[in-house]
Structure 1
C-alpha cells in the first residue's frame, strides 16, 4: 500500500506555488464556478481546479499563498477556498478563519488532498509492466518448480536460468504478452508484461534457486524475472503542458476494460525518448480519418477534422511508451484516439 511521505510537499508545493505576480488574464474560469468551496475527503486538486477553471492544470497561476496560514501549499478536508479578484485578475485564497490549523500532525501529508486519485494508478507506479526485446532476451526465466509442482504460487521454490549476482535479491515474475505496436509505423515499442508475483533469491547459479513470496496468479515455466530495485514510487505529480510538440495515439487500455472513460489507465505510443514525462497533460482528440465523398463520387476522399474528447495526464514514462490516467472525457474514448498538448 502506498503511503504519502515528505516528497509530497514537492507535489503540492510545485503545483500550488504562488504565481500571483504573473499575469493571469489568459486563465479562463469555469462558467459555472462557485464563489466558495469547502474541501471534503476524497477531493483531488484536479477535481477542485475543474470547478473553478476551464483548464485545471493552470491552477498555480491563480493560487494566492497566504503566508499567515500554516502549510499554505497544502489543502485539507474542511478548508474553504474563496474566489476573488486582484487588479482584475482571478485569484483563489485559502480561508481557515475560525478553524483549527493543523499545527501538529503525526502524518500531516496523509491527510492533505492529492493532486490526482492515487488509488487509480497505485498498482502501475512501480511494477515492470513494459519490457523491451533486449530485456526479454537477457532476463532469467523459470525452468523448474521444486517438489514436483507443475505451477508455482506463494511459498513454492523454483529454479531459474543464470543468476550469478547476489544483489539485488528481489525479482518480479512477469509474463510477456502482446507487443505494443506503433499504429503508424508498425514498429514494436515494447511488450506488455503481466505481473505474476514476487520472489526472493536464495542461491545464485545456473540454475539459481528462488522462492515465490507473493503471487497474483500461478507462475509457469518460461515466466521471466525482472530485477526489483528499491525506490520510492513517484507520487509528486505536477500537472503541466509539455513545452515541445508531441502527437501520439492511445494504443491500449490496462485492467482489461473495453470502454475507456474517466480514471482508466491507457498506454500511449510515445515515451521518454521524445521528452514525455510524468505530469504532462495532453488533450484527447477523435477523428482525423478519411471518408469517401459519396456525393461527388469518383473515389474522392475527405479527411475529417480532429475533435476534442477529453484530457489525460502521464504518470509513468518508459522509453517508447507511457502510462496515462484519463482525467476527464466528454465522449466515449477509443483505442487509436489522438493525443497532443492542449490548445485553446
Structure 2
C-alpha cells in the first residue's frame, strides 16, 4: 500500500535533487531507498511521485533491467516504469534461466541477520520465570550442537525452541524499563520431560550453551520485503537509547534501539529524523549559558517495533550518531 505524503506548502518539484536523472536503469544490488535517494531529497517521499502503469502487472515490484523515467504529469513531477524484457538468447540445448528477484526496499540481509541474533522480552515478562538450562549430560557446564540439555520450567513440546542469553536491559531516559535484550545462542527441540525438568537436544549453537541460558519458542523472524519507507502519520518524538553490541558511535546501516514502539504508532517502514543536541555556548555580551538549536544528523527506519521500544536501521548519517540523540517525525 502506497502512502502519499506531500507537503501542501511546498512545490513537488522542490522534492527533486538537482542532479536527478531523467532515466535510471535498475541494477542488481539496488534498493528502493538507494534509487529514491538519486531522485529525492527525502527518499521516503518516493510514493508521492509514483505514476502507476496500468499495463504492467504489479508496478510496485521493480527488477534489475527495469528503467525508471522521471517525467511531467500535469505540471507535477512523476516517476514511471519501463519494464525490462530480460531477453535471454538460448542455444539449441536446454538451459535453466533463474527467476528474477525484485529489488528490496532496504538492505534486507542486514536486518535479517540482526533478527536472527536478537529479540526483546517485554516489560512484565519476568526473565526469572522463563525456562532455563540447569545442566548437561555427564555434568557438562558447556554444551554445543548434538548435546542433550536439561531445562527447568515450561517447555512446549512441538514448537521450535531458541536458546538465549540475557543481554542489556533497555532503559528510557526517565528510568522506565522498555524491555530486556536477549542474544540468540542456538536452537533446540524438546525430547521428553519429567516433572518440571525437560530434556532437549541442541540442534545448532552459535556460541557455547551454558547453565542459566533461557529457552523460549523461536520468535517469528519473517520480514516482509514489501514494506515501504514512509513517515509516521502522527508526530512522535523520542531518543536513541542503545546500540546492540555496545558500540558508542553510530553510522549508516547500524542498528539502534529507540524508546518508541507500537503504542506510539510506529510500524515497520516508518522513517524518523535524527537530531543532535546543540552545543552549550556563552553569550559574549550577557555571559548567559545558551543551548544552540538541534542539528539534523540522519534518518532511521523502524523494522521491528515492540510495544514500548523499536529496533531501527540507520539509513543516512551526515554526522556520527550517538546514544541520546533525539528522533522525531521528519518534516515533509
TM-score bucket (shorter structure): 0.7 to 0.9
Residue 149 of structure 2 aligns with which residue?
158
Asked if structure 2 preserves the Cα contact closer than 8 Å seen for 1:315 and 1:325, the reply is yes
Residue 119 of structure 2 aligns with which residue?
129
* TM-score normalized by the length of structure 2: 0.87
Residue 82 of structure 2 aligns with which residue?
95
Q: Does 1:66 align with 2:56?
A: no
Pair 1:163–1:49, CA change in 2 (3 A): same
Asked if structure 2 preserves the Cα contact closer than 8 Å seen for 1:151 and 1:218, the reply is yes
Superposition RMSD on alpha carbons, in Å? 2.8
Pair 1:23–1:125, CA change in 2 (3 A): farther
After TM superposition, the structure 1 = structure 2 runs for residues 200-279 of structure 1, keeping only pairs within 5 Å, are 200-204=189-193, 205-228=195-218, 232-279=222-269
* TM-score normalized by the length of structure 1: 0.84
- 3-state SS of the aligned residue for 1:158? strand
- 3-state SS of the aligned residue for 1:147? helix
1:156-204 per-position Cα deviation (integer Å, ceiling 9, x unaligned): 1111112264242x22111112211112x01121122111111111113
- Of stretches 319-328 and 235-244 in structure 1, the one that deviates more from structure 2 is 235-244
Asked if structure 1 preserves the Cα contact closer than 8 Å seen for 2:117 and 2:183, the reply is no
Q: Name whichever structure is richer in strand by fraction.
A: 2
**Using the alignment, how far apart are the partners of 1:210 and 1:125 within structure 2?**
23
- 3-state SS of the aligned residue for 1:203? strand
**Using the alignment, how far apart are the partners of 1:51 and 1:125 within structure 2?**
29
**Using the alignment, how far apart are the partners of 1:267 and 1:233 within structure 2?**
18
Asked if structure 2 preserves the Cα contact closer than 8 Å seen for 1:24 and 1:61, the reply is no
Number of positions where the alignment pairs a residue of Structure 1 with one of Structure 2: 320
**Using the alignment, how far apart are the partners of 1:227 and 1:64 within structure 2?**
44
Asked if structure 2 preserves the Cα contact closer than 8 Å seen for 1:18 and 1:65, the reply is no
**Using the alignment, how far apart are the partners of 1:196 and 1:271 within structure 2?**
26
Residue 307 of structure 2 aligns with which residue?
319
Asked if structure 1 preserves the Cα contact closer than 8 Å seen for 2:238 and 2:259, the reply is yes
| Unmatched 5+ stretches in structure 2 | 89-95
After TM superposition, the structure 1 = structure 2 runs for residues 1-344 of structure 1, keeping only pairs within 5 Å, are 14-15=1-2, 25-26=11-12, 28-96=15-83, 100=87, 108=99, 111-125=101-115, 129-132=119-122, 134-163=125-154, 165-168=156-159, 170-183=160-173, 185-204=174-193, 205-228=195-218, 232-288=222-278, 291=280, 293=282, 295=284, 300-344=288-332
**Using the alignment, how far apart are the partners of 2:115 and 2:225 within structure 1?**
8
1:284-310 per-position Cα deviation (integer Å, ceiling 9, x unaligned): 110156x36274677x43222111111
In the TM superposition, what is the alpha-carbon distance from 1:79 to its structure 2 partner?
1.1
| Unmatched 5+ stretches in structure 1 | 1-13
Pair 1:236–1:268, CA change in 2 (3 A): same
- Of stretches 220-229 and 42-51 in structure 1, the one that deviates more from structure 2 is 220-229
Pair 1:255–1:177, CA change in 2 (3 A): closer
Asked if structure 1 preserves the Cα contact closer than 8 Å seen for 2:262 and 2:308, the reply is yes
In the TM superposition, what is the alpha-carbon distance from 1:76 to its structure 2 partner?
0.9
